[in-house]
């Protein structure tokens, strides 16, 4: 977390896209055969697309919100950071918005 009084600009593009894609590829490889069999998909490309469509958002949320080392300074990751790990002013804004 950023210490009070320090200013670090937020980034508006992912600096760790390669790491995110490596993580996704690892998860897909681990579960690919079971997913393909369970969904009765014949082609590998079709199964990869289906897996990413169904689970890609979860993988991104887990990586950006929990794993990424720059998540506190990343505009794109802000929505994925768990509410109890956000600064207090963001926690309160979130509760008032709902």
- For 9, the token pair is 């600009």
Domain limits, the chain: 17-91
Angstrom distance (rounded) from CA 48 to CA 32:
7
Q: Is the dihedral of CA 47, 51, 53, 56 positive or negative?
A: negative
Residues of the chain above pLDDT 90, percent: 15
Angstrom distance (rounded) from CA 70 to CA 84:
17
Angstrom distance (rounded) from CA 71 to CA 94:
18
Angstrom distance (rounded) from CA 74 to CA 95:
21
pLDDT number for residue 91:
62
Q: Which helix (H) or strand (E) holds 18?
A: helix 17-38
- For 45, the token pair is 């490309």
- Residue 38: pLDDT band (50, 70, 90) is very high
17-26: pLDDT as tens digits: 888 888 888 8
pLDDT number for residue 5:
44
Helix (H, G, I), strand (E, B) or coil at 74: strand
pLDDT number for residue 72:
80
pLDDT value at 1 more than 60 = no
- For 13, the token pair is 């593009």
Report if pTM > 0.85.
no
Mean pLDDT of 25-30: 88
């Amino acid at each position: 977390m950023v210490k009070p009084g320090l200013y670090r600009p937020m980034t508006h593009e992912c600096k760790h896209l390669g790491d995110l894609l490596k993580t996704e590829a690892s998860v897909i490889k681990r579960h690919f055969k079971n997913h393909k069999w369970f969904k009765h998909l014949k082609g590998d490309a079709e199964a990869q697309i289906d897996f990413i469509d169904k689970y890609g958002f979860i993988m991104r949320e887990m990586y950006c919100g929990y794993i990424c080392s720059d998540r506190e300074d990343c505009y794109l990751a802000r929505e994925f950071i768990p509410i109890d790990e956000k600064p207090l002013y963001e926690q309160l804004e979130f509760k008032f918005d709902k």
